[in-house]
Amino acid sequence: MANASGFFTPSVPSLRRRIQPPIGIFGSGSRSPEGFSTRVFCSSSTTEGADKLASGASSSESRVPRLVSQGCKLVGCGSAVPTLKVSNDDLAKLVDTSDEWISVRTGIRNRRVLSGNESVTALAVEAARNALQMAQVDPDDVDLVLMCSSTPDDLFGSAPQIQKALGCKRNPLAYDITAACSGFVLGLISAASHIRGAGFQNVLVIGADALSRYVDWTDRGTCILFGDAAGAVLVQACDSEEDGLFGFDVHSDGDGQRHLNAPVKENKMDNTLGSNGSVLDFPPNRSSYSCIQMNGKEVFRFAVRSVPHSIESALAKAGLPGSSIDWLLLHQANQRIIDAVATRLEVPPERVISNLANYGNTSAASIPLALDEAVRSGKVKVGHTIAAAGFGAGVTWGSAILRWG
């Protein structure tokens, strides 16, 4: 089991000032009653700097670690969904189910599914553009694009294609994060690390998935759950006093993979005989991914047991009480899971964000999609504190305590 925790809260003189990303990162920090105080030292070559200092070189000539001190905050959000809406009644024509059976057990009534020429990349680009527009940030000012997805349009990832479609002329770094339903939370943490540790100014974090591509539409236990969507946020550098990412808690446990997976399967082909009559395992069989396989009961138990502990841990690391939460925003997997976690954390229903009924489980897109709707409807306002948590295949789970705006 892997475990990581803690956020830095430093400062930067100007949001528009560009800081060249360093190569090496060294950190030290302590927690005060008011919050976290951290110094992050960055250097392109600490050994070279030490040697020059030892030889009497001036400080201006040596490449000693320099102080990078800045916080980060969420300043824009956006989302996009496919045009095709599939209702519970539509599914009842495919499998033995009904609107009542599905809604009572999951809280889902509709979901969106890719069709025609739609793609995950196109949805991600639309969501990203909406986030940039809200944040009033030009694509050329984006320093990094993080695409959180387990279903990219290309085996090697879609982030560079998103960067290209957005028209980022400076060729900023763009890469994919594969962590299923926890992907967006891990993307937020990665964005904070790039901003606080490497001087990045504007980072796009996108959650986008099309699990409909890997659903067995004859299996009523899984086909009722999933939908396709994309959501994005713009995370921006700021002074430490404005820092809006307070704490996090992340975990993984590979033992739980048996309860939720979509493994590679080999398509059967005739064996090739060698010249001596022996059977060769070459060329290898062509592979593809199987449909999603899930033990719903075990996933439910995992979520309601692990997620509350993770949120409580993130709050403790942020130095905040549970009463400071304005909104609870969980991965939209199942309304029963959302309700159970809220009950254990003693968060009243009116402070829980949920749009599951309209979209189903959209994997890495679910948190930013729900956040975008809540912000644009006026429910979430600037200064509100949100406890967000993702959980799912891997298995992985994680929480982040953040402030909007």
- Specify the range with the lowest mean pLDDT, choosing from 17-31, 60-74, 139-153, 307-321: 17-31
Token pair in block for residue 82: 């496919």
What are the φ/ψ torsions at residue 354 (nearest 5 degrees)? -150, 125
230: which residues sit within 8 A by CB, 6+ positions away? 79, 80, 81, 120, 123, 124, 126, 127, 206, 207, 208, 209, 365, 368, 369
Q: Residue 342: is its pLDDT beyond 80?
A: yes
pLDDT at residue number 232: 98
Token pair in block for residue 213: 């591509």
Reported as type and span, the H/E element at residue 245 is strand 245-252
Sign of the dihedral defined by the CA atoms of residues 315, 317, 320, 321, in that order = positive
Tens-place pLDDT, residues 184-229: 999 999 999 999 999 999 999 999 999 999 999 999 999 999 999 9
Which residue has 């553009």 as its token pair?
Answer: 129
Looking at residue 358, its amino acid is N
Q: Residue 255: is its pLDDT beyond 60?
A: yes
Answer whether 248's CB lies under 8 Å from 400's CB: yes
398: which residues sit within 8 A by CB, 6+ positions away? 182, 185, 186, 189, 248, 249, 250, 251, 310, 389, 390, 391
Catalytic residue numbers? 181, 331, 361
Mutual angle of helices 366-376 and 120-135, in 10-degree steps = 40
Q: Residue 172: is its pLDDT beyond 90?
A: yes
Q: Residue 297: is its pLDDT beyond 70?
A: yes
Which residues make beta-bridge pairs with 35?
A: 32
Mean pLDDT of 348-355: 98
User: Which is nearest to 251 in space by CA: 314, 191, 197?
Assistant: 314
When pLDDT is cut at 50, 70 and 90, the band that residue 263 belongs to is confident
When pLDDT is cut at 50, 70 and 90, the band that residue 256 belongs to is confident
pLDDT at residue number 15: 37
Looking at residue 305, its amino acid is R
- Specify the range with the lowest mean pLDDT, choosing from 9-23, 116-130, 232-246, 328-342: 9-23
Omega within 30 of 0 (cis) for the link into 283: yes
**Whole-model pTM?**
0.81
When pLDDT is cut at 50, 70 and 90, the band that residue 168 belongs to is very high
